[in-house]
Amino acid sequence: MFRDWFAKNLGVGQVRKEQVYLDICRSVSLEDVSYWIQVLFAAGIATLGLVLNSPAVIIGAMLISPLMGSILANGLALATGDVILAMRALLNLALSCLVAISFAVLLVSLLPFKEMTAEIAARTRPNILDLVIALFSGAVGSVAICKEPKGVATSIPGVAIAVALMPPLCVMGYGIGIAISVNPVNGLKVASGGGLLFFTNLVAITFTAMLVFLSLHIDNYQVKEKVREWRNSHPESMWMQSILERLPIYQKVKRIGTLPGRLLLIFVTLVAIIFPLNQSLSQLRREISLQQQENRIRTAARNVWQKQFAVLENGEQRSYISNISILEQNKKLTIQLQVFTSKQYTPEEQNSYIQQLASRLGKSPELLALKLIEIPTASNELLRQVTQEKPPEPIITIAQLQSSFMQEVQSALGELRLPQPAQMVNYELITIPSEPLNMGATRKSEIVVK
């Protein structure tokens, strides 16, 4: 039988199957305080890494990966038809998502800045490639869980990084926080993109985990008996079973939940999410095509300029391009060049550039337009000019200072008004040598009015 052969070649025996089943059942416990601490810390690390645009910090949150156990439990429940495990896993996953998103919303609300970063934007537009990655990662993760521990240590970290379950949830929290505090439309758009990425990872991992567990024949009779014995002594499983037995739909679910029905359920869900993912992939394909075309035009514009117009006839550098912008409207391509040049370009030279570039691109010259922004620079002749030295300041002698002082005194005395009937008959200016100050001789002046 294929399933037994597959399990044997992977080294997954009967004892290991029982151990894996019980470990996954225990991992979805609501009473595990350490699990909820990991959810909070992983959400906090991922949120801060996203708003800081730090891939290293985000990878740290990925490695914690507390949600992987609940998602693998969903895959195991679908593979074995275990309704109790499925309900426990769904409840655990729903509460975990609620805690992570709420904590991310709280952090975003408290942050003084709420700018969209590249790491956030990268998780708002998932496509089919993300689905394929999640399918591969879920399969590898399921195999790594089932194998003996010697190979798990190198597999699980890579799976956690590849799937990245926590960052999309934190992107949802970021979007909700933005919708509440800044912009409802943009915030909900970001939140929906992160939610679609998380749901894609969830469905893909559940599907491949289900296939791996089925391939390993982990749902054999001996394993189910062992799990049933454990469940009869596990309070949380007994509590969930008592709740389900009170619901009328429980018996119908047990009858309907056959293996083909479970496979159909997960397959239909996969097909449903392919449509929005395919739209994102088509848009990404168009954007990549436009970017490649723009790069080709930019390269051609730069090469034509450097080859024909950037150098003077004597071999000296005339100009160089600092920036190239491209705009296409109504099938007409406008190329804006910002150049530093030592000699202004004539209209004839600009027209010649258009002609050569059109020939290079295989377009009609009428469909091309050039917008040239010229920034003048100093020519070589100007650069070679030697700056002239400033003339030395004239030296003022003491006699000149004394003459200037006497002129100011005469002007001041001419404006002097004495009380009547007093009149100024004559005045005399006497200078007396004083003590030298600051290494220079000075004179003390006195004015005597008669």
Domain over 292-383 is classified CATH 3.30.70.1350 = yes
pLDDT at 382: 39
User: Which residues, other chains included, contact 20 with Cβ-Cβ below 8 Å and sequence gap of 6+?
Assistant: 12, 145, 146, 218
Q: What is the pLDDT of residue 98?
A: 95
pTM, two decimals, is 0.69
* Closest residue by Cα to residue 68 from 168, 210, 163: 163
Tokens of 210: 């289900």
pLDDT of residue 380: 45
Q: What is the pLDDT of residue 377?
A: 79
Nearest Cα residue to 374 out of 335, 327, 319:
319
Average confidence (pLDDT) per 10 residues, the chain, 450 residues? 76 86 89 91 93 89 83 89 89 94 93 87 88 86 76 53 79 93 88 92 90 87 87 87 78 63 83 86 84 89 89 85 86 88 89 90 88 77 42 63 73 70 68 49 46
Q: Are 250 and 244 in contact (CB under 8 A)?
A: yes
